[in-house]
Amino acid sequence: MIDLTRGQRETEIAARVDAFIRDVVIPYENDPRIGHHGPSDELSYELKEKARAAGLLSPHVGEEFGGMGLKHREIATVFRAAGYSMLGPVALNIMAPDEGNMALLEKVASAAQKEHFLRPLAAGRTRSAFFMTEPDGGAGSDPSMMKTTARQDGNHWVISGRKTLITGADGATVGIVMAKTEEGATLFLCDLPDPAIRIERVLDTIDRTMPGGHSVITIDGLRVTSDQVLGEVGQGFKYAQVRLAPARLTHCMRWWGAARRAHDIATAYAMQRHAFGKALIDHEGVGFMLADNLIDLKQAELMIDWCAWVLDNAGHGAGGAESSIAKVAVSEALFRIADRCVQILGGTGVTDDTPVHQIFRDIRAFRIYDGPTEVHKWSLAKKIKREAKASA
């Protein structure tokens, strides 16, 4: 039987996180160090130091790396609380791509790789990037189209290719590069910056939450040793799924908190703003939108908790279909919430006077991150077909 009850530990941690977000993080939301490509590293590390002092840094990693060793169900409760400010995940060191990269390293990396690459990440002393997506004609939603290559040269591998939409590459010191080898897709670890990895440009995008933004990258003759292969040669696609299935869900958790924040702001506005002789909330058009928000929030919360329970109980690499279902359902629901909140706020909803318009923009991008809705639906349709054939 699926048990979605919240335990005492996660409840207590979430309460501490909630207070930290409201008292410490939210006052930073108008900090001038938040630029078009996300918060600066100076701001990010300042926030992480405050989270460290509060004993809340990197709660998702194992205790041996300074975290709390939370399970996915516990992570869901804590990450939702952190997401109440868009700077919250940055402060707690649980923002993408670092959170997903830490989870992957913890599951797959060798002991030496964990010490060199994971420990500084978990300590919030550095940032990372996952180099997978490529420009047109290369790997995107279809990773089998990978064009970046890695050829073996003695005890080294030489990697060349181009990547795009690489989150956090600008300023990262840890890189995970996916490249095609004769044995199949393979993941490689590298220290950054490296002269063989050049940032062509940092793209201007509608979101501005993730430090370092999203870059177009040229990799020209990057040399790494065989000790820098992450896991086994040729198993890159498998490891990518080990990373992506939970990462889709943690996106849902963080953005749930942001959508809840937008809903709370819209509710407060609807209570105090009057039109045609009564408060906006007393007009059905507004009141019903807020009611729809509440329904979407609860359904999304239950979907997240269900998928987290599956990941906790199904083992590493499992839960792919469930995470696709959750990613589609939750991203679409949260976007509806953010859209309604902008509408309720009216003209104010498209200004910087509240964080709602930026929450709307970031959640719109979330519908594409880690696989757009349509790709997940296509994958689920193939699963339905396989199961139908098997039972025929």
Q: Is the pLDDT of residue 317 over 50?
A: no
Dump pLDDT digits (tens) for 24-57: 999 999 999 999 999 999 999 999 999 999 999 9
Are the CB atoms for 338 and 365 separated by under 8 Å? Answer: no
Give the DSSP H/E element, type plus range, for residue 286: helix 284-314
Assigned token pair, 178: 């996916």
Residue 367 φ/ψ, nearest 5 degrees: -65, -10
Q: Answer whether residue 354 is part of any domain.
A: yes
> How many C-beta atoms surround the C-beta of residue 1 within 10 A?
2
Q: What is the pLDDT of residue 315?
A: 60
Rounded to an integer, what distance in angstroms lies between the CA atom of residue 14 and that of residue 67? 14
Max Cα distance, the chain (Å): 79
Phi, psi of 11 (to 5 degrees): -65, -45
Kindly state whether residue 119 falls inside one of the protein's structural domains.
no
Q: What is the CA radius of gyration of the chain?
A: 21
For residue 294, what are the domain limits? 237-391
Question: What CATH number corresponds to the domain at position 249?
Answer: 1.20.140.10
Q: What is the pLDDT of residue 30?
A: 94
Question: Is 113 within the bounds of a domain?
Answer: no
Region 158-178: mean pLDDT is 98
Residue with tokens 């999304």, as numbered in its chain: 300
**Same domain, residue pair 64 and 30:** yes
Same domain, 80 and 132: no
- The answer to whether residue 302 is domain-embedded is yes
In a domain, 118, yes or no: no
* This prediction's pTM: 0.95
The stretch 357-376 carries a mean pLDDT of: 94
Highest-scoring range by mean pLDDT, 114-123, 235-244, 306-315: 114-123
Work out how many domains the chain is built from and give that number.
Answer: 3
- Specify the pLDDT at position 356: 98
- Same domain for 84 and 138, yes or no, is no
Digit-coded pLDDT (tens) for 231-257: 999 999 999 988 988 899 999 999 999
Peptide bond into 355 cis (omega under 30): no
Residue 319's Cβ-count burial label (10 Å; 0-12, 13-18, 19+) is buried
Backbone dihedral angles phi then psi of residue 183, each to the nearest 5 degrees: -85, -10
Q: What is the mean pLDDT of the chain?
A: 95
Boundary of a domain, candidates 53, 72, 95 = 95
The domain that holds 69 is classified in CATH as 1.10.540.10
Average confidence (pLDDT) over 5-9: 92
- Residue 247 covered by a domain: yes
Q: Which of 201, 232, 263 is the last residue of a domain?
A: 232
Query: Minimal CA–CA distance to 300: which of 258, 329, 328?
Result: 329
Question: Could you tell me if 71 and 152 lie in one domain?
Answer: no
pLDDT higher than 70, residue 149: yes
265 pLDDT above the threshold of 70 = yes
- Give yes or no: residues 169 and 250 share one domain: no
Question: Within this chain, do residues 246 and 227 fall inside the same structural domain, yes or no?
Answer: no
Is 378 a member of any domain? Answer: yes
Asked if residue 107 belongs to a domain, the reply is no
Q: Among the three residues 185, 200, 232, which one is the final residue of a domain in this structure?
A: 232
Distances (CA, A) of 64 to 12, 49, 124, 125, 242: 21, 19, 15, 16, 21
Pair (274, 193) in one structural domain: no
CB 82 within 8 A of CB 17: yes
Same domain, 191 and 325: no
Strands in 154-300 per DSSP E = 156-167, 174-181, 184-191, 197-203, 214-225, 229-230, 274-275, 278-279
Instruction: Supply the CATH number for residue 196's domain.
Output: 2.40.110.10
Percent of the chain with pLDDT over 90: 92
**Same-domain status, 225 and 244:** no
pLDDT digits (tens, 9 = 90+) for 79-97: 999 999 999 999 999 999 9
End-to-end CA distance of the chain: 28
Claim to verify: residue 228 and residue 245 sit in the same structural domain: no
Q: Which amino acid is at 189?
A: L
Handedness of CA 212, 218, 219, 221 (dihedral sign): negative
Cα 350 versus chain centre, distance = 25
Q: Are residues 221 and 249 in the same domain?
A: no
Q: Which of 50-59, 175-184, 362-371 has the lowest mean pLDDT?
A: 362-371
Mean pLDDT on 161-181: 97
- CA atoms of 365 and 338, how far apart (whole Å): 12
- pLDDT surpasses 90 at 71: yes
Residue 352 identity (one-letter amino acid): D
Same domain as 279, residue 178 = no
